Structures are given as structure tokens and as C-alpha cells.
């Protein structure tokens, strides 16, 4: 656990989890960019991949939020004020929360699409929501809007991390998954 680690350090489990989230979202991001550029009749496999990876990211984000809430929080690196470290962690928590909500809305959008089976990791799921625009349109709009929102949050988190490095010499490496927080 983090209470046994030196300030500015995180455990192996946190490091591995961070890399899985980072790589998973990085791959999902390129899938997101590719979907609109692909002809509608050729999007089937991209959608299955998007839905499956999106659910995985959603589940990982929920696990990470629970993990963060249960604490204890890691100690900031030497020289980094606790309030500055806490703000950076709050931004990261907000990103995870938006990932979780975006995933839930993506589910509602996928189930509301007309005559499209929802397939996750090769398994077709039963229709849980009625087909139609009642759920599909609002879920789709918010799913897309939150996509822009988490990009904005990630940009703020990254910019603030660079500020912390310049101001407090906290290190750039802590912005990537690894042994530093």
C-alpha cells in the first residue's frame, strides 16, 4: 500500500494499472479518430473494438476511483506542496470519473441504435434498452461532449503537471505511469 512507500513513490500494482489505463486509452483514442473516417458499412469491427475497449476503460476507471476513495493517498514528492499535489490528484480523479460516465452513456447509445447488436469481446449482449431515439440521442450527445471534456481535463492536468515541474522541480516522469506520483 502507499502508506508504506516513500514520498513521491507508488507501488508496482499502481504502476501496472496506470500503464494498462494509459495504453488502453491511447489505443481507444486512435479508434475514436478512425471511426468517422471509415465508410458506415465497414465500421462493424471498429465499433466492436470501440465498445469492448470502452467498457474495459470504464471498468478500470471505476476500479481506480474506488481505489482512490478508499485511500490512503500517496505522499507528494519532496518539495511539492501537499495542496498542489492534491489538486493534481483531483484532476486525475475527475478524468477517471468522466471516463466512467462516458462509458455508461456509450452503452446507452449503443443499445439504442437501430438493429445493431452490442458485442463485447466477441459476445453478443441482450438488448437491455429499447431501440429508439429516447435513450440513443441524449446518450450519444453527452457521450460525444464528454469526449471533448476529458480531453480538456487531460490538457489541464498535463499543463499543471508541467507547471509543477517548472515551479517545484517535481519531475516530468511523474506525468506518465511509473514508480513516481
- pLDDT (tens digit per residue) in 139-172: 889 999 999 999 999 999 999 999 999 999 988 8
CA nearest neighbour of 44 among 115, 100, 139: 115
pLDDT in tens, 51-64: 999 999 999 999 99
Given a contact cutoff of 8 angstroms between Cβ atoms, the answer to whether 177 and 22 are in contact is yes
- Tens digits of per-residue pLDDT, 76-120? 888 999 999 999 999 999 999 999 999 999 988 888 776 678 889
Does residue 179 have a pLDDT over 70? no
Mean pLDDT of 27-41: 91
Q: Is the confidence at residue 3, as pLDDT, over 60?
A: no
Alpha-carbon distance values, 2 to 28, 157, 175 (Å) = 29, 22, 18
- Report whether pLDDT(2) > 70: no
Backbone angles phi, psi at 152, to 5 degrees: -65, -45
Q: What pLDDT, on the 0 to 100 scale, is given for residue 1?
A: 45
Alpha-carbon distance of 16 to 12, in angstroms, equals 6
Dihedral over Cα of 101, 103, 108, 114: its sign:
positive
Mean pLDDT to the nearest integer, 62-73: 90
Q: Do the Cβ atoms of 9 and 179 come closer than 8 Å? A: yes
Global confidence as pTM = 0.88
Amino acid at each position: 500500500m502507499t502508506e508504506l512507500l516513500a514520498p513521491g513513490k507508488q507501488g508496482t500494482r499502481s504502476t501496472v494499472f496506470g500503464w494498462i489505463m494509459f495504453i488502453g486509452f491511447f489505443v481507444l483514442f486512435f479508434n475514436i479518430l478512425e471511426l468517422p473516417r471509415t465508410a458506415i458499412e465497414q465500421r462493424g469491427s471498429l465499433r466492436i473494438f470501440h465498445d469492448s475497449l470502452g467498457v474495459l476503460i470504464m471498468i478500470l476507471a471505476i476500479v481506480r476511483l474506488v481505489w482512490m476513495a478508499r485511500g490512503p493517498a500517496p505522499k507528494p514528492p519532496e518539495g511539492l506542496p501537499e495542496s498542489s499535489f492534491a489538486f493534481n490528484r483531483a484532476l486525475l480523479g475527475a478524468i477517471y470519473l468522466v471516463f466512467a460516465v462516458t462509458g455508461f452513456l456509450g452503452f446507452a447509445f449503443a443499445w439504442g441504435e437501430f438493429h445493431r447488436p452490442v458485442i463485447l469481446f466477441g459476445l453478443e449482449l441482450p438488448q437491455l434498452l429499447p431501440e429508439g431515439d429516447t435513450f440513443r440521442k441524449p446518450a450519444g450527445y453527452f457521450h460525444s461532449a464528454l469526449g471533448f471534456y476529458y480531453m480538456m481535463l487531460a490538457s489541464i492536468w498535463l499543463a499543471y503537471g508541467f507547471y509543477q515541474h517548472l515551479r517545484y522541480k517535481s519531475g516530468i516522469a511523474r506525468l506518465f505511469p511509473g514508480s513516481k506520483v
